[in-house]
Structure formats: structure tokens, C-alpha cells
């Protein structure tokens, strides 16, 4: 099948999927409306959707031979959309990371693959995943059997990107970390409350928190290799009720991003040690609670090289690939890529007409819908070609 030609024919359907999903953004693992819509569309094309934890899995092709996993994350962000799109969000959440595109691309790819199912050499497994933004979705689906019956041999995922780069550009990394790990944490600091005029009668957790913020910066500046991309940020401090009261406790909320597992493990260890020792030096105590996390995203070179080759077989307008991309952001596909080889790539959904553009996660961000032609075609073509060469 000429997937690019067919994707052009199905462009209006892809638009419809994207615009419907855009209006019902849901967050975390509880994406009920989104999953119900996906389930309905999958049934209409003659496939059988299977609930896998909080997500949905669809299997096409033969049960024998090799299996390729295609992943689409479909959750949104807990923020108000401020775009002027006529189909903007109808609730307090927003698809400002482009996951509505991912769902639409996968639905159209599923339709094309179903139409071509008789010619497929092996098995294709489609993964509709919630909870990427909270780094819980991949773990949830893996725990519910995603990687079994059948077990995938390779994985492919795309993520759209906003900005002023043209549709047709795709970005990847075949030799090093593509996306950093992410560990979100809370540090609970316990002191002893007292009157603000008599601090000696208490243990000031705010004072401990301030010293701790500075001490944690020294881990990055003085204890890890300077040529690695490690970032530790404290983004929120929570303490107290009034200016003349020393509270009993304070909380620090932060995130750690690392480009390799060795540095990640070391910094997490030091995060606990420094928090405890700084608090103890002021007669208090501190406990680090990891609230969510995902490892660095590292692609398999052979898989990347194979998929780039297949992508270049399609005569996509303005097609250009850029290697060596490293993003400070994170994606929990990394959990799966620790278990099976695979590739993750960015597809530009930007504009080059001079309009004002915004970054992903910005309330006014808008993505170029023209990517809904090449995106589904890439998914279907790469899956088909990989099976042809590996079964």
C-alpha cells in the first residue's frame, strides 16, 4: 500500500480525530472520554481494542513472526488553553503538548494497517497510552501485560513539536541520550513551631529549607561531571501561616533531570544524604519522597537507523532529518526502551509563515495540522517495512 497517498486521502478523518480529542483533554491515568472515543473508532475499522490497565492495545497482522510496538500517548495537561482555535478545549485541561495529534495519527495508521492487514508479514501492536505527563502510563501498561502475548521485538514512537520549523523536518538521536530522566520529589522538613519573637524556643524549618536549597545546588555544581546535562530545580516552597509564627514544618518541591542512569542514581543518593544532614545540623529532620520518575530515554542505534531509512522512502514534502537531538524534557517511553530496543523521534508541526509561535506547554501554543499527512504514513510504513525486513 502507498501509505502516504492513503494518508492524504484520509486527511479529513485525521483532522476530525485530532479536533475532537483536542476538545476533551484529560489528565493522568483517568482518560475515560479519550479512551472511549479511541475504542469506538478502533471497533469501527474492524479491530478489537483490548484494555491494558488504563490504556488500550490493538493487535493487527499475524500472531507468528516478529512484533513491532507503535506507541501513542494521549493525555493532556492541567492548564487552561488560551488559543483562539474554534475547537479549543472545553474544560480546564489542555492539549498543549500535542498528544491529541498522536492519538489522531495512530487512529489513521490503524485504519491503513487494517486495510493492508493481509499483506503484513508479522504482528503490529498499537499502544494508546494515558499518563505520560505524570510518568505513570507506561509503567501501568507494562504492569498489565503490554510487553507480552505477543512480546514486542522493537518499538517506535513519534512526538510532534511546535515552533517555527517546517512540517517535513524530523529529529532523532542514534548515538546518545535523547531525553533526560525525570524525578519529581518532595522534601518534608520537620522542625518545631514557636513564636516568631522567640526563635530559640523552636526549630525553624524555613531556615532549614533555605539552607537546603543552596546546598542542593552544590551537588550539581561541585559533585558531578561538568560535561553532563544534569539539572536540579526547586520550584515550590510551602511553609507557614503568618509572618510572626515559626511553623512546625516546611516542604520543598523539585525536579531532577539527568542524561544518564549513573549520574541519576548518584544525585538521588546525595539528595537524601544532604537533606538529612542539613536538617540535622539545625536540629530538625528531613525526608525525601519521590513522587514520580522515568529514566533517560536512549534509543537503539540499529532501530533508529532502520526507521530513518524507511521514513526516507516516503516522498514527504520538505523532508529533512536532523540527528543528535538532546532534549532536557522527559518521556516515559524510556521505561519501555529499557526493556526492548526502539526509536523515538520528533516530527515538526511548526509554522514558517512568520506568525508568533509558542513552545509546547504554553497556553497559546498551536500546532500545524499538516503533520497529520506524514505522521500516520510514517507509522504505518515503518511498521510494515520493519516486519518485511525482520520476519
Q: For residue 358, what is the domain's CATH number? A: 3.40.630.10
Q: Is residue 45 located within the same domain as residue 18?
A: yes
Q: Is residue 157 located within the same domain as residue 58?
A: yes
| Cα-based angle 26, 112, 145 (whole degrees, multiple of 5) | 55
Asked if 109 and 42 touch (Cβ cutoff 8 Å), the reply is no
159: left (phi over 0), alpha (psi -120 to 50) or beta: beta
> Which regions of the chain are under pLDDT 70?
none
Q: Is residue 90 located within the same domain as residue 160?
A: yes
Q: Is residue 336 located within the same domain as residue 372?
A: yes
Q: Determine the structural domain holding residue 167 and report its residue range.
A: 3-176+297-390
Q: Is residue 250 located within the same domain as residue 264?
A: yes
Task: Supply the CATH number for residue 281's domain.
Answer: 3.30.70.360
**Residue 229: its pLDDT value, please?**
86
Q: Is residue 329 located within the same domain as residue 289?
A: no
Strand 249-257 to strand 182-190: parallel, antiparallel, or no bridges (unpaired)? antiparallel
Radius of gyration from C-alpha coordinates of the chain: 23
Q: Is residue 117 located within the same domain as residue 171?
A: yes
**Structural domains counted in the chain:** 2
The annotation places the binding site at 97, 99, 133, 159, 361
**Residue 63: its pLDDT value, please?**
73
- The 3-state DSSP class for residue 367 equals coil
**Residue 334: its pLDDT value, please?**
98
- Among 241, 261, 294, the domain-final residue is 294
pTM: 0.93
Q: Is residue 14 located within the same domain as residue 115?
A: yes
Question: CA-to-CA distance for 59 and 66, rounded, in angstroms?
Answer: 13
User: From residue 352, how far is each of 97, 163, 197, 253, 304 by CA, in Å?
Assistant: 19, 9, 60, 38, 27
Phi/psi at 389 (5° precision): -90, -10
Strand 50-52 to strand 55-61: parallel, antiparallel, or no bridges (unpaired)? antiparallel
201: which DSSP letter?
Answer: G
Q: Is residue 17 located within the same domain as residue 137?
A: yes
Q: Is residue 247 located within the same domain as residue 377?
A: no
Asked if 377 and 314 touch (Cβ cutoff 8 Å), the reply is yes
- Among 294, 328, 358, the domain-final residue is 294
Asked if 141 and 333 touch (Cβ cutoff 8 Å), the reply is no
Q: Is residue 30 located within the same domain as residue 167?
A: yes
Q: Is residue 67 located within the same domain as residue 143?
A: yes
252: which DSSP letter?
Answer: E
Query: Which residue in the block uniquely carries the three cell numbers 506547554?
Result: 361
**Residue 371: its pLDDT value, please?**
99
- Among 253, 276, 294, the domain-final residue is 294
User: From residue 386, how far is each of 116, 309, 379 by CA, in Å?
Assistant: 15, 10, 11
The annotation places the binding site for Mn(2+) at 97, 99, 133, 159, 361
Question: CA-to-CA distance for 312 and 142, rounded, in angstroms?
Answer: 31
Amino acid at each position: 500500500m502507498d501509505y502516504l497517498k492513503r494518508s492524504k486521502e484520509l486527511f479529513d478523518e485525521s483532522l476530525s480525530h485530532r479536533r475532537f480529542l483536542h476538545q476533551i483533554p484529560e489528565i493522568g491515568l483517568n482518560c475515560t472520554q479519550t479512551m472511549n472515543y479511541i475504542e469506538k473508532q478502533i471497533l469501527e475499522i474492524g479491530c478489537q481494542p483490548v484494555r491494558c490497565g488504563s490504556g488500550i492495545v490493538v493487535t493487527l497482522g499475524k500472531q507468528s513472526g516478529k512484533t513491532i510496538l507503535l506507541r501513542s500517548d494521549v493525555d493532556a495537561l492541567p492548564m487552561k488553553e488560551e488559543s483562539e482555535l474554534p475547537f479549543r478545549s472545553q474544560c480546564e485541561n489542555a492539549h498543549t503538548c500535542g498528544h491529541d495529534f498522536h492519538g489522531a495519527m495512530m487512529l489513521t495508521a490503524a485504519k491503513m494497517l487494517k486495510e493492508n492487514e493481509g499483506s503484513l508479514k508479522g504482528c503490529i501492536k498499537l499502544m494508546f497510552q494515558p499518563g505520560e505527563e505524570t510518568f505513570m502510563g507506561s509503567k501501568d501498561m507494562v504492569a498489565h501485560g503490554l510487553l507480552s502475548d505477543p512480546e514486542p521485538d522493537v518499538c517506535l514512537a513519534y512526538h510532534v513539536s511546535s515552533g517555527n520549523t517546517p512540517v517535513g523536518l524530523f529529529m532523532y538521536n542514534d548515538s546518545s541520550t535523547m531525553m533526560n530522566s525525570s524525578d519529581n520529589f518532595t522534601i518534608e522538613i520537620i522542625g518545631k513551631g514557636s513564636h516568631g519573637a522567640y526563635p530559640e524556643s523552636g526549630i525553624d524549618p524555613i531556615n532549614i529549607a533555605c539552607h537546603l536549597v543552596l546546598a542542593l545546588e552544590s551537588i550539581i555544581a561541585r559533585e558531578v561531571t561538568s560535561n553532563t546535562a544534569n539539572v536540579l530545580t526547586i520550584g515550590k516552597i510551602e511553609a507557614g501561616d503568618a509572618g510572626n509564627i515559626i511553623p512546625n514544618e516546611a516542604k520543598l518541591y523539585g525536579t531532577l533531570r539527568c542524561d544518564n542512569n549513573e549520574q541519576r542514581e548518584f544525585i538521588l543518593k546525595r539528595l537524601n544524604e544532604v537533606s538529612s544532614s542539613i536538617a540535622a545540623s539545625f536540629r530538625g529532620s528531613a525526608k525525601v519522597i519521590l513522587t514520580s520518575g522515568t529514566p533517560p530515554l536512549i534509543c537503539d542505534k540499529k532501530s533508529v537507523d532502520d526507521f530513518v531509512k524507511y521514513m526516507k522512502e516516503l516522498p514527504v514534502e520538505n523532508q529533512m532529518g536532523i540527528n543528535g537531538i538532546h532534549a532536557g524534557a522527559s518521556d516515559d517511553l524510556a521505561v519501555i526502551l529499557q526493556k526492548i530496543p526502539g526509536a523515538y523521534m520528533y516530527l515538526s508541526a511548526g509554522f514558517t509563515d512568520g506568525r508568533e509561535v509558542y513552545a509546547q506547554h504554553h497556553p497559546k501554543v498551536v500546532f500545524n495540522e499538516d503533520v497529520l499527512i506524514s505522521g500516520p504514513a510514517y507509522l504505518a510504513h515503518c511498521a510494515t517495512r520493519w516486519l518485511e525486513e525482520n520476519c
